Amino acid sequence: MTVFYSGFAPRVCLFGGLALSAAGLALAADDLNSWSHSQNLYYDTSPAGADVPVLIGNFPVLVRLRAANFPFDQAMRGGQDLRFSKPDGTPLSYEIDRWDSAGAKADVWVRIDSIPGDSQGVLARMYWGKAGSVPASDGNAVFNPAIGFDYVWHLGGTGTGARPNSVGGKPAATPVNYDGDESREGMAGLCDSLDGNAVGDYLDVGNGYTEISPNLTISMWASPSRASVWGRLLDLGNGADMDNILFSRVGNSQDLVFQLYAASGQTAAAELKATGALALDQWQFFAVTVRGTAASIYRNGALVATGTLAAQVSNVNRIHNYLGHSNWAADEYFAGKLDEVELSHFPHTANWFKLAYANQKPDQNLISFTPPTPQCTNAKFAVPADTSLAEASSLDLKGVADCASSYQWSAVSGPAPRILDPEVKTLHVALPRVTGDTTIVYRFTAVLAGASQTHDVAVHVKEAIPDPAFSLSDAAWNGKDSLALRPVIANLAAILASPEPRLTYAWTLSGDLADTAWESDGLLLRSSPDGSILRVGLCLNNNGPLICDTATVTVSGTVGLASPLGKKPPARAPLRDARGRRLPGESVLPGFLRPAP
């Protein structure tokens, strides 16, 4: 990795027991609204773009900045003011692989939480243009073991200096036999160009590699300049025939092989070969993925070999580990260029490699700085098939209108609730309560190529929730002892067993004076003068139509509400309403029953 800004040592601070790097603190503290410039980055995973049909998560996206798409004179010379965020403003981690203001070249890796499949949209937002910004480039936040990465070398650099590992605490790639001219233009930033001489130059990648068992992914870009005999892309082991994991040319052929060796074997314990996979003098993206004993080799994002290994990747510490060099003395050194070497303990999928190749190849077609043009070849315009559902349920009607300039939903027949937001492709429908089976017809309208087109979908709504069937009976009452009025609900068991088992009661009371109290399922009449006639009403519903009935209560008998002269008091407004709430005013007649507080 080569970055042309002044060197700095990452500072580490502790907050609540968590270690945060200076770059992480900068990301957390930034107010991106104060940056002078910003730009959307767009993605395209449709068939016209990267052509990846599924969502890919925790993906490091390569962003190449050049004079044609980025104004380097507006940013700090080392790119310290560069920032990225999600479309909603949440900061994104990134790593500057190369920043060359004078040459107007920068290559940046941005960690994206998820990239939707077969779609187009805004991927991220890029910010720049704030003097005095603290560098926030953080390779370990992009290539982190928590999301599978164990060793990442971007390669290329100044002279014979070590090539850093982006994964924190992991070994650098140390040049051996370098003469200082190995660093060249690579696929992302710079790369290492190895001469493949008799005593060739190569990279020692340190000790370890216990994490990559039993699952493993190896990926890298390579451009061989000649067919070195058994020229290694990668060889990890403890010497010849000792715990080796190798990715290599087969002899001087064009075949590429992945092999595993046991602790003391003279032949490979397991191997998978991709015939004719190696071409000279052209960049190729190679990858091998292992899940237990299942292995696959990919070239330029396409599967070229798959099979079952005779053994798994062993979990041992390896101390002789190289890029471009073999553990076998008779093998030749690799001749050609190497770049972007990654080892992970996650077995990535075929779509991962397809997306990586689409993003990293020279004519990449995953991201852009302008909105991608919708592809309207064989554009689809459709609605779901007619369907049947129970009342009070819900569904989503998903319209398809590729390249439409506008679209909307409407209800053309049936008891449809009002559509609050009709200008959507997916309409969420909450079906109403119905009496008897009925049909609602929804219409999807879109303007395509200047012409309006429509499709209808019928939603057949089945009655599934019974409306309450009840009655109130007339009653005679002495006006003194409390009288509880309750409805007789003929279909109560069916209601309680339905999706809408809760009943709502609404009582009304009219006529002469009475003192009442409302109960959860009834009305309690507590006192009323002799000769009163009360008209009681009840409306029931279970989130559907109101069902109502009335009854008459006739009061006869001697009660304590008569006047001292034994005459019936004049009709007055009741002291409590039908829900038992106190009403304004109270009786002035001696002995009149007053409402309890």
User: pLDDT higher for 298 or 497?
Assistant: 298
d(CA 498, CA 309): 57
Please report whether residue 331 resides in a domain. Answer: yes
| Residues 269 and 402 both lie in one domain | no
Look at the pTM and tell me if it is higher than 0.75.
no
* Opening angle at CA 212, ends 291 and 245, nearest 5: 90
Q: How confident is the model at residue 143 (pLDDT cuts 50, 70, 90)?
A: very high
129-142 pLDDT per residue, tens: 999 999 999 999 99
Bigger pLDDT: 586 vs 384: 384
Return the number of other C-beta atoms located less than 10 Å from residue 161's C-beta.
Answer: 14
Which pLDDT does position 597 carry in this prediction?
A: 31
Residue 572 shares a structural domain with residue 452: no
> Tens of pLDDT along 439-489?
999 999 998 877 899 999 999 999 888 889 999 999 898 888 888 888 999
Is residue 228 a part of any domain in this protein? yes
Last residue of a domain, one of 108, 138, 168: 138
Structure tokens at 399: 């319209």
Kindly state whether residue 250 falls inside one of the protein's structural domains. yes
Q: Where are the beta strands (DSSP E) in 450-532?
A: 451-462, 470-471, 475-477, 483-485, 488-489, 504-511, 515-519, 522-527
16 & 129 share domain: yes
CATH of the domain at 324: 2.60.120.200
Cβ(559)–Cβ(480) under 8 Å? yes
Q: How many domains does the chain have?
A: 4
> Is residue 306 located within the same domain as residue 401?
no
The reported pLDDT for the residue numbered 140 is 97
Q: Is 499 helix (H, G, I), strand (E, B) or coil?
A: coil
Containing domain of residue 167, as a range?
Answer: 149-345
Burial 517-529 (b: 16+ CB within 10 A, else e): bbeeebbebbbbb
Q: Give the Cα separation of 478 and 466 in Å (integer).
A: 37
CA distances from 504 to 116, 463, 523, 539, 546 (A): 46, 20, 13, 8, 9
Looking at the structure, do residues 321 and 444 belong to the same domain, yes or no? no
pLDDT over 70 percentage in the chain: 87
Report how far residue 42's alpha carbon sits from residue 212's, in angstroms, rounded to the nearest whole number. 34
pLDDT given at position 26? 55
Going by pLDDT thresholds of 50, 70 and 90, the confidence category of residue 317 is: very high
Cα(525)–Cα(552) distance, integer angstroms: 13
Residue 364 lies in a domain: no
504-557 pLDDT, tens digit per residue, is 888 888 877 777 776 667 888 888 887 888 899 999 888 888 899 999 999 886
Q: Does residue 2 lie in a domain region?
A: no
**CA 424 – CA 205 distance, rounded (Å):** 54
Instruction: Residue 414: name the closest of 395, 437, 446, 390 by CA.
Output: 437
Confidence tier at 414 by pLDDT (50, 70, 90): very high
Which residues pair with residue 527 across a beta bridge? 515
Q: Taken in order 311, 312, 314, 318, is the CA torsion positive or negative? A: positive
Q: Are 470 and 456 found together in one domain?
A: no
Q: Is the pLDDT of residue 385 over 90?
A: yes
Are 328 and 439 in a shared domain? Answer: no
Q: Are residues 439 and 480 in the same domain?
A: no
Q: Is residue 368 part of a domain?
A: no
Residue 319 pLDDT > 90: yes
- The confidence score (pLDDT) of residue 578 equals 52
Provide the 10 A C-beta neighbour count for residue 547. 16
pLDDT confidence of residue 519: 63
Query: How do residues 42-87 score in pLDDT, each as one tens digit?
Result: 999 988 899 999 999 999 999 999 999 999 999 999 999 999 999 9
Buried b (16+ CB within 10 A) or exposed e, 70-92: bebeebbebbbbbbbbeeeeebb
H-helix segments, 70-176:
139-142
Tell me the average pLDDT across 417-433.
90
**Spatial contact of 25 and 36, defined as CB atoms under 8 Å apart:** no
Domain end: 462, 493, 528, which one?
Answer: 462
- Residue 253, domain member (yes or no): yes
Query: What is the separation, in whole angstroms, between the first and last Cα of the chain?
Result: 82
Contacts by residues 13-17 (CB-CB < 8 Å, ≥ 24 positions apart): none
Same domain as 334, residue 242: yes
Task: Looking at the structure, tell me whether residues 532 and 476 fall in a common domain.
Answer: yes
Q: Is 511 exposed, middle or buried (0-12, 13-18, 19+ CB in 10 A)?
A: middle
The alpha carbons of the chain give a radius of gyration, in whole angstroms, of 39
- Give the chain's length: 597
User: Does residue 566 have a pLDDT over 50?
Assistant: no
Whether residues 526 and 421 fall in one domain: no
361 domain-assigned: no
Q: Measuring CA to CA, how many Å separate 330 from each of 176, 242, 289?
A: 18, 16, 28
**Predicted confidence band of residue 588 (pLDDT cuts 50, 70, 90):** very low
Specify the range with the lowest mean pLDDT, choosing from 132-141, 154-163, 375-384: 375-384
- Provide CB contacts within 8 A for 466, sequence distance 6+: 491, 494, 495, 498
The CATH number of whichever domain residue 546 belongs to comes to 2.60.40.10
- The mean pLDDT of 219-239, rounded to a whole number, is 97
420 and 485 belong to one structural domain: no
Q: Which of the listed residues 462, 480, 503 is the one where a domain comes to its end?
A: 462
